Homo-oligomer: A and B are copies of this chain.
Amino acid sequence: MSDHHVYKRVEIVGSSKNSIEDAINNAIAECSKNVRNVEWFEVVETRGHVVDGKVGHYQVVVKLGFRIEGS
């Protein structure tokens, strides 16, 4: 077994009508369908659409880090 790991970091944009936390969780959930071992997230940008003078959707860009399998 290797004594070191290698990780990949990808940028996912999650969105939610409810909250910033929901948008982060939606990004992680979607990414986890294809990738095992998502281990951490980092918020890169927080933005969103405005509809009728209120937030329509929060859009949160997160970097997600996961271990490359076999590493």
- A interface residue numbers (CB < 8 A to B): 3-17, 19-21, 23-32, 38-43, 45-50, 53-55, 57-58, 61, 63-65, 68, 71
Residue contact A15 to B4, C-beta cutoff 8 Å: yes
For the complex with contacts A25-B55, A30-B68, A41-B47, 10 further pairs of A-B residues with Cβ separation under 8 Å are: A5-B15, A6-B13, A6-B27, A7-B13, A8-B10, A8-B12, A9-B11, A19-B21, A32-B50, A40-B48
Residue contact A3 to B30, C-beta cutoff 8 Å: no
Chain A to chain B contacts (Cβ below 8 Å), 7 pairs? A6-B26, A12-B68, A24-B48, A29-B54, A42-B45, A43-B45, A50-B64
Chain B residue numbers with a CB within 8 Å of A55 are 21, 24-25, 28, 41
